[in-house]
Amino acid sequence: MRALLALAVIAGSLAIALTTPVRLGLDLRGGTQIMLETRSTPTADADSAATDRTVEVLRGRIDALGVAEPTLVRSGDHRILVELPGVSDPKKAADVLGRTAQLTVHAVLGPAGTADGATSPPADPAEGRVLPDESGQPLRLRAADLTGRDVEGADARFDQQGGAGWHVTVDFSKTGQDRWRQVTARAACHPAGDPQRRVAIVLDNKIISAPQVDPSVPCGTGIPGGTTQITGSFDDTEARELALLISGGALPVPVETVEQRTIGATLGDAAIEAAAWPPSSAPP
């Protein structure tokens, strides 16, 4: 009876071992290792609490990228170790993770004259500023009407019927919907073609889209529904990364990459195969 029970246990163990996929970490699959360091700003201290919040935002970004078995650990008050198995491009990974992703939406006050010049990035990303649009035309922007806190989510989509290609759809929260309606209602009071009919969407102090409010929108009414599209010459990767950054939220403090490297698999398939066999029955 005991022999039968032992055989059943062994058979069950073998079935689990054969049907459960091996979980490969950085040593077995290779991948990317990045050391990030949080930095203080005039408006936020990079203390241990801010670093903890940064870890959570980064975790959301990595989950959205679909990386299996990532590692994120805080090292001291300011450093974060990130390990991404199977990711072989450390620079690209660091670019996505290191973006502060401060999203703001601004009414356009008009084109900037030569005396205005381009402003240096303000300490508060919600302040007014002068920034070039997608074509390089400097625009004077009023203080932000919406920020990333007003965003509920973002998705990358491909427009097959309209031929617009890849774009990012942004969904605002209830508060954000009201603010979006208000900023577009004011813009709609200016004639078609007037720069003040434009609304600028800014990410990390760069205008990524500044569309005109459609002529069909009447003055004082605005665009209802709480959704907008960010269009541009995006490919699928760029659109997905932009949606990931917007929906994942901004980092509470900036981060700087202090070390990044690609790590090769040090154990490999031979180690996995050897581990699957008991010492007495390992193949020669």
Does a structural domain hold residue 110?
no
Question: Can you list the alpha helix ranges (DSSP code H) found in the chain?
Answer: 2-19, 26-29, 48-65, 90-98, 174-187, 236-248, 268-275
Does a structural domain hold residue 200?
yes
pLDDT band at 123 (very low <50, low <70, confident <90, very high): low
Sign of CA dihedral 36, 208, 44, 140: positive
CATH of residue 67's domain is 3.30.70.3400
Q: Which whole-number Å values give the CA distances from 205 to 101, 227, 236, 265, in the listed order? A: 9, 22, 23, 39
Same domain (yes/no): 242, 150: yes
Same domain (yes/no): 157, 73: no
Same domain (yes/no): 95, 151: no
Does a structural domain hold residue 9?
no
Same domain (yes/no): 169, 222: yes
If one counts the domains in the chain, the total is 2
Same domain (yes/no): 228, 257: no
Q: Are strands 138-141 and 129-132 parallel, antiparallel or unpaired?
A: antiparallel
184 against 269, higher pLDDT: 184
pLDDT band at 265 (very low <50, low <70, confident <90, very high): low
Helix (H, G, I), strand (E, B) or coil at 228: strand
Same domain (yes/no): 226, 257: no
Mention every residue, 6+ apart, whose C-beta is less than 8 A from residue 282.
274
Does a structural domain hold residue 6?
no
pLDDT score for 29 = 65
Does a structural domain hold residue 43?
yes
Domain range holding 83?
A: 25-99+251-269
Same domain (yes/no): 164, 215: yes
Q: Which whole-number Å values give the CA distances from 261 to 84, 95, 128, 186, 255, in the listed order? A: 11, 13, 39, 49, 17
CATH of residue 242's domain is 3.30.1360.200
Digit-coded pLDDT (tens) for 25-48 = 555 567 889 999 999 988 889 999
- Answer whether residue 113 shows pLDDT above 60: yes
Same domain (yes/no): 172, 95: no
Mention every residue, 6+ apart, whose C-beta is less than 8 A from residue 238.
166
- Answer whether residue 210 shows pLDDT above 70: yes
Does a structural domain hold residue 154?
yes
- Tell me, what amino acid is at 161? Q
Give the rounded percent of residues in the chain with a pLDDT score beyond 90.
Answer: 47
pLDDT score for 214 = 92
Reported residue count of the chain is 284
Sign of CA dihedral 10, 11, 14, 19: negative
- Answer whether residue 13 shows pLDDT above 60: no
pTM over 0.85? The answer is no
pLDDT band at 6 (very low <50, low <70, confident <90, very high): low
Does a structural domain hold residue 72?
yes
> In this structure, what token pair is assigned to residue 144?
């932000």
What is the Cα–Cα distance from 220 to 230, expressed in whole angstroms? 23
pLDDT score for 43 = 84
Digit-coded pLDDT (tens) for 138-175 = 999 999 999 999 999 999 999 877 777 899 999 999 99
Average pLDDT of the chain is 82
DSSP letters spanning 45-113? ---HHHHHHHHHHHHHHHHHHT-SS-EEEEETTTEEEEEEET---HHHHHHHHH----EEEEEEEEEPP
